[in-house]
């Protein structure tokens, strides 16, 4: 018979590595990573875990999403006492963390699994609401752009960003000495229209899949593609923007509330271009 969490001595040395998928509403938090003094996703999870297990448990994130950025497929890894009843643990954590955080798909994995460093690809989804008026029901999860965007031009521009490039023009460069590399590999970018939540309109969805991303990279890509869709930039401008390696060369940074970390993949988990 499997032990319940309450029956486990959290001080004993036997531990197992656990992988959990996490969904959260980013507008409730000052980012995902632990940040003393402000509310974060990891901060809430660690507090809830401490109440359940009596232990201060370290949590590793697959991606450190910014304040206001949401997730449906964030992955965390953590070490728990051997014999933990994961179903019971998730039930208790979900009751404590609702409605801003939900946890699912907990499983014991290899001891060397790391949510961040074991990831082979990540996918972000950005939703844009085109039209003259804001939709109050989705305003906190989509960027309202009061224009009809040229999707064909956006896709043509996006194709220039696929592959391995120095994305200095699309990233907020960290303050470090020596400077860190901002070379990243983008696997796929797709832009398409899909039915909106109210059924009477369409939203524009941008999906960006890559092996890793630097700070504000996806939002900068989306903002630049929107400038292309509005005719402020053209697809042939993208190679020169990349080559400039200067943040001022690219377009605007899209607001955080339209962005969702939708999926993280690991060895043996394939990504499919243009999938949801």
Given a cut of 50, is residue 276 above it in pLDDT?
A: no
pLDDT-derived band at 3, boundaries 50, 70, 90: very low
Please list, in sequence order, all residues whose beta carbon lies within 8 angstroms of the beta carbon of residue 200, skipping any fewer than 6 positions away: none
User: What is the average per-residue pLDDT within 91-104?
Assistant: 97
Say if residues 261 and 199 touch (Cβ distance below 8 Å): no
pLDDT for 196 equals: 62
pLDDT-derived band at 112, boundaries 50, 70, 90: very high
User: What is the average per-residue pLDDT within 1-11?
Assistant: 44
- Which DSSP letter does residue 197 get? T
Say if residues 92 and 39 touch (Cβ distance below 8 Å): no
Given a cut of 80, is residue 113 above it in pLDDT?
A: yes
Whole-angstrom Cα distance, residue 230 to residue 217?
Answer: 20
- The CATH architecture annotation of domain 5-109 reads 2-Layer Sandwich (3.30)
User: What 3-state DSSP class applies to 155?
Assistant: helix
Summarize pLDDT for 87-96 with one digit per residue, the tens: 999 999 999 9
Summarize pLDDT for 204-250 with one digit per residue, the tens: 999 999 999 999 999 999 999 999 999 999 999 999 999 999 999 99
Rounded to an integer, what is the distance from CA 116 to the centroid of its chain? 12
Q: What is the pTM of this model?
A: 0.90
pLDDT for 177 equals: 64
- CATH fold of 121-265: Alpha-Beta Plaits (3.30.70)
Q: Closest by alpha carbon to 66, among 40, 43, 34, 32?
A: 32
Top-confidence residue, 197 or 51: 51
Token pair for residue 6?
């309450």
Which residues are the active-site residues? Answer: 66
* Structural domain spans, the chain: 5-109, 121-265
Token pair for residue 86?
């994961």
User: What is the average per-residue pLDDT within 253-272?
Assistant: 91
Summarize pLDDT for 154-201 with one digit per residue, the tens: 999 999 999 999 999 999 887 766 788 999 999 999 999 987 665 556
The two domains 5-109 and 121-265 share their CATH topology (first three levels equal): yes
Q: To which residue do tokens 């972000």 refer?
A: 124
- CA-CA distances (angstroms) from residue 89 to 74, 99, 113? 18, 17, 20
- 7-11, 20-24, 220-224, 247-251 — which is least confidently predicted? 7-11
User: What is the average per-residue pLDDT within 144-149?
Assistant: 93
Given a cut of 90, is residue 44 above it in pLDDT?
A: yes
Summarize pLDDT for 115-129 with one digit per residue, the tens: 999 999 999 999 999
Share of the chain above pLDDT 90, in %: 82
């Amino acid at each position: 018979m499997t032990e319940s969490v309450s029956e486990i001595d959290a001080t004993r040395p036997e531990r197992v590595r656990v992988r959990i998928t996490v969904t959260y509403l980013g507008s409730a938090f000052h980012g995902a990573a632990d940040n003393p003094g402000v509310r974060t996703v990891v901060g809430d999870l660690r507090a809830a875990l401490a109440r359940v297990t009596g232990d201060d448990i370290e949590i590793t994130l697959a991606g450190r999403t910014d304040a206001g950025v949401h997730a449906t497929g964030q992955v965390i890894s953590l070490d728990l006492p051997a014999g933990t009843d994961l179903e019971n643990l998730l039930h208790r954590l979900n009751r404590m963390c609702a409605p801003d955080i939900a946890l699912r798909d907990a499983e014991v994995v290899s001891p060397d699994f790391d949510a961040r460093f074991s990831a082979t690809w990540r996918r972000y989804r950005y939703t844009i609401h085109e039209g003259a008026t804001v939709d109050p029901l989705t305003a906190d999860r989509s960027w309202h752009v009061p224009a009809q965007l040229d999707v064909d031009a956006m896709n043509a521009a996006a194709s220039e960003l696929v592959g391995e490039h120095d994305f200095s023009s699309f990233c907020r460069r960290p303050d470090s000495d020596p400077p860190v590399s901002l070379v990243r590999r983008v696997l796929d970018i797709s832009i398409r229209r899909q039915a909106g939540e109210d059924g009477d309109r369409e939203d524009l969805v941008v999906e960006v899949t890559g092996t890793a991303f630097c700070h504000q990279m996806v939002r900068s890509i989306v903002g630049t593609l929107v400038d292309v869709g509005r005719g402020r930039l053209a697809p042939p401008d993208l190679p020169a923007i990349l080559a400039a390696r200067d943040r001022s060369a690219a377009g605007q940074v899209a607001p955080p509330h339209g962005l969702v970390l939708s999926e993280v993949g690991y060895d043996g988990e394939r990504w499919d271009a243009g999938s949801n």
